[in-house]
Structure 1
Amino acid sequence: MNTTAIIARTETGSQLVAALETVWRAIQARHPEVPDVVMITGSGKGMLGLTWGHFGHEFWANGRFRVNSDGVIERDRKHELFVSGETLGVGAVKTVQTLLHEATHAVAAVRGVKDTSRQHRYHNKRFLAIAEELGLEYRAERPDASLGFSSVEITDETRQSYADVVEQLDAAIVLTMELPEWARLLIGGGQGGTDGPGVHGGDGTRGRRPGSPGRKQGRWIKATCGCGRIVRAARTTFDAAPITCGGCGETFTVVDV
């Protein structure tokens, strides 16, 4: 897909969104199940972390109402795709990787697959399977106790297949948002190269903002699974390896201490 004529230098917000939309179309060209989205951007900074990107299922609706033959009001709905300005600041590779991560959620929504649990934080094996279809991989030895397989990364082969898109997007990114100092510490690096620390996958940084309210450092912590069962165990037990529920098959995620 030739995107040279579409991506321009992003000196305005509308041009920036257009550049991201072009990358999304390139993903759709390779994976037709990926749906259309309403592309938005802005700051990903929050009280407890930094969001790289977010997929919102049917967040938007056509403002015009229609009434069908049964007298029911109908509205066309659209998905939302958010990419933070801080992600753009890390570089084009990170941005494309984030778009592929969110495209994984989008495909799961189209297929009716439940790919996350516990307030959409824990990314399960169904998420990972679709992510691998889209050219991402999970490189850690085991899933994260809280986020599961969220931190998928772009493979070398996928990066090569999107080389032209990455190059053009990199040239187009002029406006960015600076990565806050606390987020640099959490991800282990700054904003230098796109191959360095801080380019790993996932919807957001792993950890909380220093100084923000967090969990007590007590001995026992509480966790729950997809079917609502609750277990309490020593912190070292959860750190050692994921605990799987025999009922629903999902990993217990920490919710309180």
Structure 2
Amino acid sequence: MSTTPPVLAAELAQAWADIQRYHPELPDLAAPESLIGESSSACGAELSFERLLHEAVHGIAAARGVRDTSRAGRYHNRRFLAIAEEMGLDHSDEPHASSGFSLVSLNPEAKKRYRPTMERLQRALKAHTAATAADTKRSFRGPAARHGSSGGGVRVKAVCDCGRNVRVVPSVLAQAPIVCGGCMKPFRIPEVALTAAAS
């Protein structure tokens, strides 16, 4: 069993702490492991420091009580963009029709500020990719895992106490809690959804 995922989780947590030094209102990252293995999302195509900073924008929006997305979290609005710009992310084009201002990139000042953090995280990501590739050669992980699905399987709705919801593969949620940025309670899958997914 590879020890790389915990190392990557630790580097993600450290990178998040580096962001918090500049943005103290950013809540703690409850489960860095939840970002590992996600090959796609409404928030970006692959795991990187830029994507982590993007997720931090959502964290600050939640801390401020700002609704920064719509359309089930896919469309990133101008409130998202305003916080992104505060945090060193730019969006040079008009909003995308379906994802809005989701595709943000680091501005030169942020690149300079976070260079050591980005270099550390990049090394951890490379090691994780190499270990994952080696693990894939030694074991059968199923077609969904091989084709980039996070955990493989059907996504079901998980809810939190304040009524927010996310779509998640039950096995991913079983690995570690995913905490709501609004109420700081863990998302849970209602029994009805679990029964439907199993059938």
TM interval, shorter chain, is 0.5 to 0.7
**Do the aligned partners of 1:52 and 1:98 also contact (CA within 8 Å) in 2?**
no
Aligned to 2:60: 107
TM-score by length of 1: 0.46
Q: SS state of the match for residue 128, structure 2?
A: coil
Aligned to 2:90: 137
Aligned residue runs from structure 1 range 1-257, under 5 A: 11-38=3-30, 39-40=32-33, 41-45=35-39, 50-51=40-41, 87-88=46-47, 95-140=48-93, 142-173=94-125, 174-176=127-129
Structure 1 residue 14 displacement after superposition = 1.0
Unaligned runs of 5+ in 1: 1-9, 55-85, 89-94, 179-257
| Cα distance change on mapping 1:52 and 1:24 into 2, 3 Å | farther
Distance 2:85 2:60 in 1: 12
Aligned partner letter, 1:160: K
**Do the aligned partners of 1:101 and 1:152 also contact (CA within 8 Å) in 2?**
yes
Aligned partner letter, 1:19: E
Rg bigger for which structure?
A: 1
Structure 1 residue 31 displacement after superposition = 0.5
Distance 2:76 2:43 in 1: 14
Between Structure 1 and Structure 2, how many residues are aligned?
Answer: 127
**More strand by percentage:** 1
Q: SS state of the match for residue 15, structure 1?
A: helix
| Cα distance change on mapping 1:53 and 1:14 into 2, 3 Å | farther
**Do the aligned partners of 2:77 and 2:101 also contact (CA within 8 Å) in 1?**
yes
Structure 1 residue 44 displacement after superposition = 2.2
Identity over aligned pairs, percent: 43
**Do the aligned partners of 2:88 and 2:106 also contact (CA within 8 Å) in 1?**
yes
TM-score by length of 2: 0.58
Q: SS state of the match for residue 87, structure 1?
A: coil
